[in-house]
Amino acid sequence: MKPKIFLLFVFLLCLRVVVDTDFGWHLKIGEYIYQTKTIPNSDLFSFSRPGFPYIYHSWATELLIYLPYKFLGFWGVSLLYSSVLTLAFLFMYQTAKLISKKINYLALVWSVPIGISIAGGKTRVFGLLFFAIIYYLFTQFILKSSSEKGHNSKIIWFIPLVFMAWANFHGSFALGLVAFAVLSIFGKKRKTLFTILLLSMLATLINPFGVNIWETVLIGASQTINLRHLNPDWRPLFSADTNSQIIAILFITLYVVAKFLKLKMRMGHELTILIFLITALISSRFTLIFLVVFAPFLNQVFEELKNKTPPKILRSKTLLFPIIATFSVFVLITIQNLLEITFAYSNLKNYSQYVTIKTSNNSLYSFWPYNAFEYIGKNLQLKNIFIETNSSGFLLLQNPNRKLFYYGAMDNFVNDNNFFAYEYLSLIEAKDNWQPTLEKYDIHAIVLPPHLPLIAKLKNESNWQKVYEDREAIVFIK
């Protein structure tokens, strides 16, 4: 397989419907930046925290999302995400080529679905791209420094520029700095590497918010453990309610295979893989970094297996069949993705149905109760409405002018040293003073999935009336 064919295959495999629950508000921020030519520094969408000071650390990504959407609609966003993910795999491909000299396309193709599950259709895909670039530059530097001639790769000095861009595209830049620090500890030419690390830290300050961007990032990091039940992205890789445990088992199995094959690895490379695996087991967000170092390792394992397998077996039909079957399955998935995009992006109702199908396996309810949102759009236009956070982004797509009680960005909102997320959770779970809290924020209507504790409480409250119900959501008004 030629590299261009491989990358085209990756692009088509990554081209799929965006189902990110934060997509709506990301898109609206990009629209705001485009129309006003300014970057917001306060909350735009809530009635509970109007004007709350906030750092939009993904402002460049959000603008970049809106631009293709403006001209090509939802198709444009899918094309953008697929292109960025393909670029990330291009750099992982180049890194694998540096380490192993040869490319095992079967191994790299198998890593694509993992990349899609980690970053596909989400703003974090830019974090994957930037770290893939950094790891490629780092690997090139290390290998050239270790060569007989001992020449250094001057291109590594571009890493601070990569971090400068990363700080404007996604908050995961802080995770990237930690990862680069780990690489620097185990790499050669540590003085050079730590100088670049220092310059990279300074480069992250070149953004519209200056040093304040670190405040939002650190606040988010502090909630990785506390808000796992609110945000699936923060759950451990082995979390029972996600498919990520399959990825974790694959990672660990291949590492055991590598040890069995006595695969030669630099000690720093091996320790780096293990460290990033451990962090991914703590929170699936760290899988973003782990995939970048693991994909070249995966290529190395497959190549070692190939070298130690007798040629007769390699040429046998028995081995050829699963290889053909694998690529055939991926081709069918690509065709399915194109059909799904055509269906989902034809109108918002079809889009909501697609999201409902895709999320039903990973959740107790639909993230997009389309019919309930239609009801409130027609009948409850002037009311303050309380909805579930994962539905908020889709409500902004369906009812663009609606103000929200809570949405994804508000995980980082702090008031009097208390996270606003806890106040939201106390309402969802009907804890403590939930009734005074509803009155405090002048909430007129509630739209929630039927199973949540607050719905059970409202059914026994005479001052709340149920006006709409389906399998996905119940609407109460006061």
Distance CA 163, CA 147 (A): 27
For residue 95, give Cα distances in angstroms to 98, 294, 299.
5, 11, 10
Q: Over 70: is that where the pLDDT of 151 sits?
A: no
Q: Over 90: is that where the pLDDT of 107 sits?
A: no
Q: Residue 127's closest CA among 186, 175, 172?
A: 172
User: What pLDDT is stored for residue 230 in this prediction?
Assistant: 57
Question: What tens digit of pLDDT does each residue of 359-401 get?
Answer: 765 555 668 999 999 999 999 887 899 999 989 999 999 999 8
User: What pLDDT is stored for residue 229 in this prediction?
Assistant: 57
Q: Residue 386's closest CA among 346, 461, 446, 329?
A: 446
Over residues 453-474, mean pLDDT: 92
CB atoms within 10 A of CB 266: 15
Q: Over 70: is that where the pLDDT of 472 sits?
A: yes
Q: 420 with 230: CB under 8 angstroms?
A: no
Top-confidence residue, 115 or 23: 23
Q: Over 50: is that where the pLDDT of 200 sits?
A: yes
User: What pLDDT is stored for residue 416 in this prediction?
Assistant: 75
Ranked by mean pLDDT, the top range of 89-98, 145-154, 304-313 is: 89-98
Residue 123 pLDDT class (50, 70, 90 cuts): very high
Q: Which tokens hold the place of 257?
A: 């295979």
Distance CA 66, CA 396 (A): 14
Top-confidence residue, 232 or 438: 438
Q: 179 with 276: CB under 8 angstroms?
A: yes
CB atoms within 10 A of CB 358: 18
User: What pLDDT is stored for residue 241 in this prediction?
Assistant: 46
Over residues 415-432, mean pLDDT: 85
Over residues 32-53, mean pLDDT: 94
Top-confidence residue, 219 or 224: 219
Over residues 225-246, mean pLDDT: 56
Q: 134 with 176: CB under 8 angstroms?
A: yes
Q: Which residue(s) pair with 387 in the sheet?
A: 447
Q: 90 with 7: CB under 8 angstroms?
A: yes
Top-confidence residue, 475 or 302: 475
User: What pLDDT is stored for residue 128 in this prediction?
Assistant: 94
Residue 306 pLDDT class (50, 70, 90 cuts): confident
Is the Cα torsion angle 205, 209, 214, 220 positive or negative in sign?
Answer: negative
User: What pLDDT is stored for residue 117 in this prediction?
Assistant: 82
Over residues 133-161, mean pLDDT: 82
Q: Residue 127's closest CA among 138, 139, 137, 115?
A: 115
Top-confidence residue, 84 or 101: 84
Distance CA 156, CA 140 (A): 8
Domain range summary for the chain, segments of one domain joined by +? 3-312, 350-477
What percentage of the chain carries pLDDT values higher than 70? 87
User: What pLDDT is stored for residue 255 in this prediction?
Assistant: 75
How far from the centroid of its chain's Cα atoms is residue 176's Cα? 14
Helix 74-100 vs helix 105-119: angle between axes, to the nearest 10 degrees? 140
User: What pLDDT is stored for residue 368 in this prediction?
Assistant: 92
Widest CA span in the chain: 82
User: What pLDDT is stored for residue 361 in this prediction?
Assistant: 56
User: What pLDDT is stored for residue 240 in this prediction?
Assistant: 44
For residue 73, give Cα distances in angstroms to 58, 260, 341, 390.
20, 50, 12, 22
Secondary structure of the chain in the HEC alphabet?
CCHHHHHHHHHHHHCCCCCCCCHHHHHHHHHHHHHHCCCCCECCCECCCCCCECCCCCHHHHHHHHHHHHHHCHHHHHHHHHHHHHHHHHHHHHHHHHHHCCCCHHHHHHHHHHHHHHHCCCCCHHHHHHHHHHHHHHHHHHHHHHCCCCCCCHHHHHHHHHHHHHHHHCCCHHHHHHHHHHHHHHCCCHHHHHHHHHHHHHHCCCCCCHHHHHHHHHHHHHCCCCCCCCCHHHCCCCCCCCCHHHHHHHHHHHHHHHHHCCCCCCHHHHHHHHHHHHHHHHCHHHHHHHHHHHHHHHHHHHHHHHHHCCHHHHCCHHHHHHHHHHHHHHHHHHHHHHHHHHHHCCCHHHHHHHHHHHHCCCCCCCCCCHHHHHHHHHHCCCCCEEECHHHHHHHHHHCCCCCECCCHHHHHCEECCEEHHHHHHHHHCCCCCHHHHHHHCCCCEEEECCCCHHHHHHCCCCCCEEEEECCCCEEEEC
Question: What tens digit of pLDDT does each residue of 426-447 get?
Answer: 999 998 789 999 999 999 999 9
pTM of the model: 0.90
Over residues 65-94, mean pLDDT: 96
Sort 388 into a burial class: Cβ within 10 Å, 0-12 / 13-18 / 19+: buried
User: What pLDDT is stored for residue 307 in this prediction?
Assistant: 78
CB atoms within 10 A of CB 271: 14
Question: What tens digit of pLDDT does each residue of 319-364 get?
Answer: 677 778 878 888 898 999 999 999 999 999 999 999 988 876 555 5
Q: Residue 80's closest CA among 35, 131, 127, 120?
A: 120
The per-residue pLDDT of the chain, averaged, comes to 86
Q: Over 80: is that where the pLDDT of 91 sits?
A: yes
Q: Residue 168's closest CA among 194, 143, 204?
A: 204
